[in-house]
Every structure is written in structure tokens, then in C-alpha cells.
């Protein structure tokens, strides 16, 4: 009998899958999407079975190792459509298959050592009775059961990871250990628990900086404890700054945003007693506690009715349909989503709603919960790994057929999906910028198509891609032209900075300053927008004019943060104490140049007496503090809110009647084909915050480049005119949506090695592009731009080079990338190691 083999995606960074033999004793080959335990070198890992069409030929099956165990006993972990999605992504994004499958599964479920088994007292007694005899509990131990129990007894009270029990290469081998374990567990002889890195889900760990080595610390000693980890330095600095305000205690989970591995960084700091820990009761999941007041559907406006009619037709016909739902803030898009999903639910189907940053928009999740109650699962970044796993299980079993979440929620295993909504579809956060560089909006469309479901892309400022597809008829174009409660659009005034000089401290022109004072005097609120955090953007030497550089990056400058009295590099996280003298000439006169949100906040407080100012950016507000700031401002406990682009997301502040944009053209100078589009979107989105209540709003934009189309059309609220204009520019250069891009990056510590590899790949791709051109006989069919040093040449000591592939059609791009695939990844070792990666449909060129 020829043996059966399957291809398994294993979560390792190698760009390949691995084949395994299905043990002859297994009646069936596990279906695609099933999690299995596999031997991998000396380890046992969790893998996912791939579809049979990619399985290896069984001829050389003799050389293959056997699958160890099936982990899913209630159907495959991943539904078939997600399996197909993963396969498609690995190909389209030229990404390692194991990493793609890992995206689709909650972290804990792919963690082989996540389940711990330990023997119970009853288990001990059962063993004492010895061998396969009847115990007092009348449990008959089979030989296998006695074997497993003995292993666990030897392991002691801490128990063993379940995978240790299935090791094939450890002498005496147990036939199907997990089944044995399950029997022992149900007989009460063994207890198995999840080894959640977050610990108990009812409590959470808080951390605080101790007094040890604080003021006047011996820097060398401190450095010794911290070691070479930049992250650890950042963590300690963060904790240090928390001691300056409040009692210094901070929940470890709250640090997870900026420092995903915060817990792993702690041990040396704990050992040196620089930090201390405390377990505290966990606050409830803010998105699960207290169901909001139920709400019922509103009678749709005419535009809403038309949109719903189109979408319903597609749902009833069970055909794939992608629709662009375009309408300004407050035009009733969310109400359309809600009513569409009510229809989907009435047919017994489920839905996914993707939003840019769920933590910033709790109101949106609440509106869904008010309409659908317990049917909604909110996947947000504050969930612990265990809570995430629980939510995922509930979704998979169909208990929560409506899922709201950011980017990765696009993989949620919702059964029978009828609709996928992408709200604020233009938002850059849908693109993952490391690892597998996927775009959740595009994935949503691929998934909807494979399920014959409806996809709705909603935005006030659609991406040029989506807009162009809507105009060409590829997407259904649905427009909400009027707000249900009519309200005039805010007036937008452009203030040329060449005429009206801005105060160097507050960045305010006289006009804007006066408008703020007037607005506050009337008891109304102001939002000020500046896309730069920190106190100043940089420290400049008054003697020689040298900027204080990050030692590890080539970015122009370090940002000075007053609250921490530190220089901070926003690229790599490098932190240093503010120097007393210039690193270049030794002069002691260091001047602040440029202004960040922190400095504007302070200057305003000084300049506008009696006006209460709050700040919102990644420094001032994370986690709960962020929600607190938003709630405070909404309760009108401050007159002015100064913030970064976090302010552009869908907040609803009824009291705001004035929005000031301090540097409206700031983003235009970036070397990026989407610079104009982003500026237009940002201006429009930020303007959308003005006049949400019953009072009209006004927007004031300070800028130098007042005639730029992005600014002019934003002033006129004319998205179509802007898109039209911008599309012409893209057409001329062949940039998306009129062409297709892939960015190849090479990085490494050794500049010469990086350049050499970039040039080698460049020659290869240059030849490939030439081959495409000669076959198709066209000039701009395929071109290679570069290789050149990246705009930011060095980040965290790594030199960076890049090259851009641009094609008119998708097919030649995919062909070239497939050719390139074997040449990607790490090469050489040690200091000479370089890494080459590809970013398909790149959103950032820096
Ligand atoms: P968007 O998502 O486009 O910003 P929303 O759906 O949030 O718009 O609608 C803005 C406001 O108008 C909300 O307060 C909503 O409850 C209300 N609204 C939406 N549709 C209707 C309708 N058909 N009739 C009355 N009010 C509506
Ligand atoms: Zn740096």
C-alpha cells in the first residue's frame, strides 16, 4: 500500500512547506485546515494541513516523518475558505506559507507548548495501586494510561507541556497520547491547563520602576543590567516616566502596544530589582461589559434606501459584489452597514466589519452591540491571548456571527459569511507593514469573492484605487450625498503661511489664534491638528548648526520629549538623556527647532490664559489613558484638544466647531506616490470633526503650498475633482491604480554587502523586466526603478537599499516575483548577513 502524505504549513520563517506521512493506523487523512503536531528537527511544532492538491507525491514517502497527532477534534481549526485565502496570499505576497497560516490563527492555538498537563492527587493514588489494576475510584488503567501517568508523576507539580508526551523519539512510545490524556483528564487523574503567557485571566500583572539606581544612576552599571536590548531601555524609560506622574504602576498589557514583548524583557530588570511586579484584578473587557441601550433601525433616507436595495439584491442572488459606499462623515454609512447586516443575519449568515483602529472608536462597536447584542464579537488589541482564543472559538462555533475588528479580523472563522464591510477603507492601517505585508481591504475582497458574498467599502475619501474601480463600473458605486440631519459642510479657510507668519512657539497665525479665543469664549470646542509628536522636532547646536542625530539611524533628527527630558528616535526607539553639549563642536547652546504637539500644548497654555488644553498622541495617551482623554474632551472638560493624526479617525465630538490644521502641507514633501492623496484624505477627515453637533463648523488650514490641488480640492470638499486630477498624474507615471508596484528591500549591518546584494538582485530584475518588454513589445509594460539607497538609509544600524518594480498589468509582475522568490530571504551570516524582502502593493516607500 502506498502511504498517504500531506503538506503541512509549519510556523517557521522558511519559505516552504513540509511533507509528512499520515500514520497507517489513522482511518482518514486530516482535512485541510486541521492543526496537527509534527516532529520538526528535535522539536514538536503545531502545523496546519494544506489542501491535498499541494500534497507531495507519495512515492518517496519512505523518507518522510509521520504526523504525530491531530489537535482539532471538532472539525478543522480553519474553515476551507480561510485555507484557500492563505494559499492565495502566500503566492500573491510572495510570503512564507507558515507565516501566512499563523496570521489566520490566534497565537495560543499555534503554540505547541501552550497546554500543560499535570498529575492530580487522584492520579497519584491510581498509580500507587500500581499497574493495570482496578483502583478504588474504579478506574482501569490501560498500559498506555499508566505510562503517561508515570511520566507526569515524574514531572512533578509543575507538569509537562502536552507536546512532551507525544515525542516520538523518546524511547518507549505511546500510541495516541493525546487521546490517552483526554481519557485521564475526564477521569480526574490529570489536569490540563492553558499556559497563558498573561497568566490568570481574572488578574493581570502590573509593573513599576523601583527606587534603585534612579537619580544619578551609574550609567555603566545600568547599561550592564539592560544589556544590548534597545527595547529594554525603552521599557525602563517608560516606567521611569510613569513614576513622575502618578504612583508609577502600569498594567503590563497596556505596554503591549509599543512593546509587544514587554514581558520577555523583564527578567534581568527583575533580577536586578530595578522593577517590581504585582498581580491585580483585571478590569473587565470594556467591549464586552454592559450591553449598550438597544437601538432599532432608522427609516432609511433615499440614498440609503437605494444603496441597501442594490446590496440586498446581491445577497439574495448569492453573488459576489463589491460596492464602494461613498459619503461624508455623518451621511449614514454606519446605518447602512447595520441594516445590511440585519438582512444577512435574517438569512442565517454572518458578517465581518473591519475598522482601522478599534481602540479609538469604541462608539462604533457600541452601535453594533446596541443593534445585535451578544451576536457581536469585538476583537481589539486589549484582549489577552487567552481572551482572543476564547473569542475565536466562539466565532468558529457560530456563537458570534458578527465580528468587528481591525486588520487581522479579516481572517475570523465566521461560518457562512454573507457580507464583509471595510469601514474607512482608505485608511493606511489596513496594510500590515511587517512580516506578511498584506492589505486587509484587498484580502476582504478576495475572501468575499470566494464566498459569493457582498463586500462594502465605506469612506468619505475613498482610496484612488477603489474610486477608480467604482468609476469604471468594476465596483458598484453607492453614494450618500446628503446627511440624514442636514447640516452645512464646514467652511474651510486656507491661511497662507507666506503671508501670515506663525508664532514659532505655538505655530499659530494671528487669525487662528483669534479664532480659538473666540470659539472658547462662546463655550465651544477646538481641535488642533499637528502631525508631529514630541516637544520640538529636533535639537540644533547654536554654535555649529549640527542636528543631534540618532546614532543608529539616518533620519534627520532626534525628537526632544519634555515630559521625559529625553531625546527619542521615532524610527528605532533609541533613547538618550538630553545632552548638555553638542556632540560635534562641544558648544553648550542647544536650541529647539521645529515644534511638536507637546510644545504646542504648553505654549498654548501660556499664551491663551484661561483656556484648558488636552493632548492626544501616542506619547500622552495609550490604552485606558487614551479613552479617558477622549471622554474628558467629550464631556467638555477642556476647550482645546491638540493632537496628531489619531484625531482624524471617526471620533464624534458634538461640541467642536473649530478645527485648526497647523501645517496642512506637511505630508506633501514625502517621496511617496500617494503623498497628495494622503494629504487630501487627512485634511478632509480632520475637517470632518468640525460641526458635528447642531452648530456649523469651520476649518482653518495653515499651509505654505496653498495652491496645491490636495489643499485646494479639500477646501472645496470636492473629492471627485481631486481624484480626477490625481488619476491623471498616476496615469502619466503608471502608478497605482493605473499600474502595479512591488518594492524589493535589502537590509543588513554591512553597507557594502547590502549594496552588493541589492545590485545583484537589481541586475536579475532588470533582465526579467527586459524579457517581459521584449515579449510584449511595449515600452512601459515593465520597468525597474533602482536599486538605490532607501529614503531613510539607515534604521537601527541597518543599511537599507530598495528597488521598485512597476508594470502595467498584474500578470508580468506576478511572473517576475515568482522568478525572484528563490532569491529572497537571508544570505550570508554574522555581520555580513543581508535580508531581501518584497512588499507587494507597497503603501510606504520610506
Ligand atoms: P457615517 O457612518 O457616514 O458617519 P452614521 O451612520 O454614523 O454616518 O450617521 C450619522 C448620524 O445620523 C448618526 O447619529 C445616525 O444615527 C444618524 N442617522 C443615520 N441614518 C439615519 C436615518 N436614516 N434617519 C435618521 N438618522 C440617521
Ligand atoms: Zn534611531
Could you give the 3-state DSSP secondary structure of residue 13? coil
Q: How far apart are CA 730 and CA 468, in angstroms?
A: 11
Residue 72: name the closest of 388, 396, 350 by CA: 396
> How confident is the prediction for the chain on average, in pLDDT?
83
Across the range 820-826, mean pLDDT stands at 94
Higher-confidence residue of 122 and 20: namely 20
Whole-number pLDDT of residue 168: 44
Residue 203: name the closest of 283, 281, 256 by CA: 281
Whole-number pLDDT of residue 449: 97
To test ligand 1's pocket by mutation, which of 332, 356, 456, 482 has the most ligand atoms within 8 angstroms of CB? 332
Q: Is the pLDDT of residue 733 over 60?
A: yes
Higher-confidence residue of 600 and 419: namely 419
Residue 19: phi and psi, rounded to 5, are -95, 140
For residues 509 and 702, the answer to whether their CB atoms sit within 8 Å is yes
- Residues 29-61 have pLDDT tens digits of 999 999 998 888 877 888 999 997 655 555 565
- Residues 139-187 have pLDDT tens digits of 567 777 888 888 888 888 778 877 777 654 445 566 666 677 777 887 8
Q: Where is average pLDDT lowest: 24-33, 196-205, 543-552, 794-803?
A: 196-205
Q: Is the pLDDT of residue 20 over 60?
A: yes
Whole-number pLDDT of residue 135: 46
- Residues 269-321 have pLDDT tens digits of 888 888 898 887 766 565 666 667 888 888 999 999 999 999 999 999 999 99
Task: Give, using CA atoms, the residue closest to atom 10 of ligand 1.
Answer: 330
C-alpha distances (whole Å) from 816 to each of 534, 742, 752 are 43, 10, 26
Q: Which residues surround ligand 2, an ion (CB under 5 A)?
A: 550, 552-553, 569, 571-572, 574
Higher-confidence residue of 456 and 553: namely 456
Q: Is the CB of 334 under 6 A from ligand 1?
A: yes
Whole-number pLDDT of residue 9: 94
For residues 32 and 42, the answer to whether their CB atoms sit within 8 Å is no
Q: How far apart are CA 163 and CA 35, in angstroms?
A: 13
* Length in residues, the chain: 846
Whole-number pLDDT of residue 418: 97
Q: What share of the chain has pLDDT > 90, as a percent?
A: 38
> Which ligand minimizes its atom distance to the CA of 570?
2
For residues 152 and 119, the answer to whether their CB atoms sit within 8 Å is yes
Distance 784 CA to ligand 1 centre (A): 47
Distance 624 CA to ligand 2 centre (A): 28
Distance 572 CA to ligand 2 centre (A): 4
Q: Is the CB of 84 under 6 A from ligand 1?
A: no
Which of the four pLDDT bands, split at 50, 70 and 90, describes residue 224?
Answer: confident
Which of the four pLDDT bands, split at 50, 70 and 90, describes residue 215?
Answer: low
> Which ligand minimizes its atom distance to the CA of 333?
1
For residues 426 and 462, the answer to whether their CB atoms sit within 8 Å is yes
Q: Is the CB of 739 under 6 A from ligand 1?
A: no
Q: Is the CB of 301 under 6 A from ligand 1?
A: yes
Whole-number pLDDT of residue 136: 46
Chain centroid offset of residue 623 CA: 15
Q: How far apart are CA 360 and CA 358, in angstroms?
A: 5
Higher-confidence residue of 156 and 136: namely 156
DSSP state string for 579-627: PSS-TTT--S-EEEES--HHHHHHHHHHHSTT--EEEESTTT--HHHHH
Quick count: other Cβ atoms within 10 Å of Cβ 143? 11
Which of the four pLDDT bands, split at 50, 70 and 90, describes residue 497?
Answer: confident
Residue recorded with cell 490644521:
661
Distance 504 CA to ligand 1 centre (A): 41
Half-sphere exposure of 453 (CA within 13 A, CB side): 27
> Which ligand minimizes its atom distance to the CA of 485?
1
For residues 838 and 817, the answer to whether their CB atoms sit within 8 Å is yes
Whole-number pLDDT of residue 175: 64
Higher-confidence residue of 552 and 409: namely 409
Q: What share of the chain has pLDDT > 70, as a percent?
A: 83
Q: Is the pLDDT of residue 738 over 50?
A: yes
- Residues 69-121 have pLDDT tens digits of 888 877 899 999 999 999 999 999 999 999 999 999 987 777 766 677 888 88
DSSP 823: G
Task: Give, using CA atoms, the residue closest to atom 19 of ligand 1.
Answer: 332
Q: How far apart are CA 504 and CA 495, in angstroms?
A: 16
- Residues 381-411 have pLDDT tens digits of 777 777 888 889 899 999 999 999 999 999 9
Q: How far apart are CA 530 and CA 597, in angstroms?
A: 6
Higher-confidence residue of 543 and 332: namely 332
Q: Where is average pLDDT lowest: 129-133, 263-267, 712-716?
A: 129-133
Residue 407: phi and psi, rounded to 5, are -25, -60
Q: How far apart are CA 15 and CA 755, in angstroms?
A: 23
Which atom number of ligand 1 is nearest to the Cα of residue 338? 6
Q: How far apart are CA 107 and CA 95, in angstroms?
A: 19
Could you give the 3-state DSSP secondary structure of residue 467? helix
Amino acid at each position: 500500500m502506498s502511504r498517504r502524505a500531506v503538506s503541512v504549513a509549519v510556523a517557521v520563517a522558511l519559505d516552504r512547506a513540509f511533507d509528512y506521512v499520515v500514520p497507517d493506523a489513522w482511518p482518514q487523512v486530516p482535512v485541510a485546515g486541521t492543526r496537527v503536531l509534527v516532529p520538526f528537527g528535535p522539536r514538536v511544532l503545531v502545523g496546519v494541513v494544506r489542501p491535498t492538491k499541494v500534497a507531495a507525491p507519495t512515492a518517496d514517502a519512505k523518507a518522510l516523518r509521520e504526523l504525530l497527532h491531530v489537535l482539532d477534534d471538532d472539525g478543522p481549526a480553519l474553515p476551507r475558505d480561510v485555507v484557500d485565502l492563505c494559499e492565495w496570499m502566500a503566492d500573491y505576497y510572495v510570503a512564507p506559507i507558515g507565516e501566512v497560516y499563523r496570521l489566520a490563527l490566534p497565537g495560543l492555538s499555534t503554540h505547541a507548548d501552550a497546554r500543560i498537563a499535570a498529575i492530580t492527587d487522584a492520579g497519584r493514588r491510581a498509580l500507587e495501586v500500581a499497574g493495570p489494576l482496578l483502583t478504588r475510584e474504579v478506574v482501569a488503567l490501560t498500559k498506555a494510561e499508566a505510562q503517561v501517568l508515570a511520566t507526569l508523576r515524574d514531572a512533578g507539580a509543575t507538569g509537562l507541556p502536552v507536546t512532551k508526551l507525544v515525542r516520538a523519539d523518546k524511547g518507549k512510545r505511546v500510541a495516541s497520547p493525546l487521546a490517552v490524556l483526554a481519557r485521564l483528564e475526564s477521569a480526574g487523574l490529570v489536569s490540563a491547563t492553558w499556559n497563558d503567557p498573561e497568566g490568570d485571566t481574572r488578574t493581570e500583572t502590573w509593573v513599576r520602576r523601583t527606587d534603585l539606581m534612579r537619580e544619578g544612576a551609574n550609567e555603566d552599571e545600568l547599561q550592564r543590567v539592560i544589556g544590548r536590548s534597545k527595547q529594554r531601555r525603552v521599557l525602563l524609560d517608560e516606567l521611569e516616566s510613569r513614576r513622575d506622574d502618578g504612583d508609577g504602576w502600569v498594567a503590563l498589557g497596556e505596554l503591549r502596544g509599543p512593546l509587544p514583548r514587554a514581558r520577555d524583557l523583564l527578567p534581568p530588570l527583575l533580577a536586578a530589582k530595578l522593577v517590581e511586579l504585582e498581580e491585580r484584578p483585571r478590569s473587565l473587557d470594556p467591549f464586552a461589559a454592559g450591553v449598550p441601550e438597544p437601538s432599532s433601525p432608522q427609516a432609511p433616507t433615499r440614498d440609503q434606501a437605494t444603496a441597501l436595495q442594490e446590496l440586498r439584491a446581491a445577497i439574495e442572488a448569492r453573488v459576489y459584489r463589491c460596492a464602494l459606499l461613498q459619503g461624508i462623515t455623518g451621511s449614514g454609512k454606519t446605518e447602512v452597514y447595520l441594516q445590511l447586516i440585519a438582512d444577512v443575519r435574517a438569512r442565517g449568515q454572518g458578517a465581518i466589519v473591519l475598522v482601522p483602529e478599534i481602540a479609538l472608536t469604541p462608539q462604533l462597536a457600541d452601535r453594533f452591540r446596541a443593534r445585535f447584542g451578544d451576536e457581536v464579537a469585538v476583537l481589539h488589541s486589549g484582549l489577552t491571548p487567552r481572551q482572543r482564543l476564547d473569542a475565536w472559538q466562539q466565532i468558529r462555533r457560530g456563537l458570534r456571527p458578527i465580528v468587528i475588528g481591525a486588520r487581522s479580523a479579516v481572517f475570523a472563522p465566521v461560518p457562512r459569511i454573507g457580507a464583509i464591510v471595510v469601514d474607512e477603507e482608505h485608511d493606511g492601517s489596513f496594510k500590515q507593514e511587517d512580516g506578511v505585508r498584506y492589505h486587509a481591504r484587498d484580502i476582504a475582497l478576495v475572501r468575499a469573492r470566494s464566498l459569493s458574498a457582498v463586500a462594502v467599502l465605506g469612506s468619505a475619501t475613498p482610496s484612488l484605487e477603489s474610486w477608480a474601480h467604482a468609476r469604471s463600473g468594476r465596483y458598484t458605486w453607492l453614494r450618500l450625498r446628503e446627511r440624514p440631519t442636514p447640516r452645512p459642510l464646514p467652511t474651510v479657510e486656507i491661511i497662507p503661511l507666506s503671508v501670515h507668519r506663525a508664532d514659532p512657539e505655538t505655530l499659530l497665525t494671528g487669525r487662528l489664534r483669534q479664532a480659538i479665543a473666540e470659539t472658547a469664549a462662546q463655550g465651544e470646542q477646538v481641535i488642533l491638528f499637528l502631525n508631529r509628536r514630541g516637544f520640538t522636532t529636533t535639537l540644533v547646536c547654536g554654535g555649529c548648526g549640527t542636528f543631534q542625530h540618532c546614532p543608529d539611524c539616518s533620519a534627520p533628527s532626534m525628537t526632544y520629549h519634555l515630559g521625559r527630558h529625553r531625546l527619542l528616535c521615532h524610527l528605532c526607539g533609541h533613547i538618550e538623556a538630553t545632552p548638555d553639549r553638542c556632540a560635534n563642536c562641544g558648544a553648550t547652546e542647544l536650541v529647539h527647532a521645529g515644534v511638536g504637539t507637546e510644545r504646542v500644548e504648553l505654549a498654548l497654555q501660556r499664551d491663551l490664559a484661561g483656556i484648558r488644553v488636552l493632548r492626544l498622541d501616542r506619547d500622552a495617551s495609550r490604552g485606558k489613558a487614551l479613552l479617558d482623554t477622549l471622554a474628558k474632551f467629550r464631556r467638555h472638560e477642556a476647550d482645546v484638544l491638540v493632537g496628531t493624526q489619531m484625531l482624524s479617525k471617526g471620533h464624534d465630538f458634538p461640541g467642536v466647531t473649530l478645527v485648526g490644521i497647523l501645517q496642512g502641507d506637511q505630508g506633501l514633501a514625502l517621496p511617496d506616490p500617494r503623498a497628495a492623496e494622503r494629504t487630501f484624505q487627512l485634511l478632509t477627515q480632520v475637517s470632518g470633526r468640525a460641526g458635528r453637533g447642531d452648530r456649523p463648523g469651520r476649518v482653518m488650514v495653515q499651509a505654505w503650498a496653498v495652491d496645491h490641488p490636495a489643499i485646494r480640492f479639500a477646501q472645496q470638499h470636492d473629492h471627485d475633482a481631486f481624484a480626477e486630477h490625481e488619476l491623471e498624474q498616476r496615469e502619466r507615471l503608471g502608478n497605482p491604480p493605473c499600474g502595479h508596484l512591488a518594492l524589493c528591500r535589502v537590509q543588513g549591518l554591512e553597507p557594502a554587502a547590502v549594496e552588493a546584494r541589492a545590485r545583484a538582485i537589481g541586475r536579475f530584475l532588470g533582465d526579467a523586466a527586459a524579457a517581459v518588454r521584449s515579449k510584449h513589445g511595449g515600452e512601459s509594460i515593465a520597468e525597474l526603478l533602482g536599486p538605490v539607497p532607501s529614503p531613510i538609509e539607515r534604521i537601527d544600524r541597518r543599511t537599507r537599499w530598495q528597488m521598485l518594480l512597476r508594470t502595467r498589468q498584474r500578470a508580468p509582475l506576478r511572473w517576475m516575483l515568482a522568478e525572484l522568490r528563490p532569491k529572497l530571504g537571508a544570505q550570508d551570516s554574522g555581520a555580513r548577513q543581508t535580508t531581501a524582502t518584497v512588499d507587494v502593493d507597497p503603501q510606504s516607500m520610506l
